[in-house]
Structure 1
């Protein structure tokens, strides 16, 4: 998993919900297999852990039906994808008037020990981001991960 790189591959927005799709791309010479949910933490503009927002495992979100975790083989120069989903409307009923500002997302692949950081500025409300399981396709209509990437 030390030969993985993290990149933004897409996103969506609607009705106060946001989604960013991230890719874990294999830049090594050998295939690796990952299963399940990546560990995700958010950092503020000083590089400190944003403790007011927790990452929760969620098989589905506002934009996609639930997906069960399955093993994903990531061949060299190919990727596995997952989504981060959050809301952008403060939960005023819980005393939230502004939402915390994340500047970096830090991801650890399942079974890995090394985190990968990626600059990603966003303001998740409600104290959580939802993390989907890794999958072998960008989205339901995309090409499978076994097809050569651009």
Structure 2
């Protein structure tokens, strides 16, 4: 009996946690999603080797308050700036550009993440439903600063 109650409790708690967290979408899915429900797009641009990028991604995935805000008002997209595969977005094809031996950057990361002539990691890029850049932020944001930014963007919408 106790075992059954524990299993039910774990399932209920897990289900609540999953529901609160938005799942990241792919660039190819955005057009269809925007037709169903218009939302802002949050693009987190990072790399596999960037510890601050991973920390921000973790905040987006695991913080319940941030998850609730994202689920209600944003489509989150995680973009590896060093993605070697071609990315199709907004009717264009973005390719990997080598910048040296075993290194390079995807053109989409450059397009969305360059601010004042520089691409740094992590970078947050926010798009409106027409895929126009409405705000960019370079550098790490902790959970409270990220929540403040998300709320300001929602209010200015």
**What TM-score, normalized to structure 1?**
0.28
Q: Between Structure 1 and Structure 2, which shows a larger proportion of strand residues?
A: 1
Q: Between Structure 1 and Structure 2, which shows a larger proportion of helix residues?
A: 2
Computing the radius of gyration from Cα coordinates, the structure with the larger value is 2
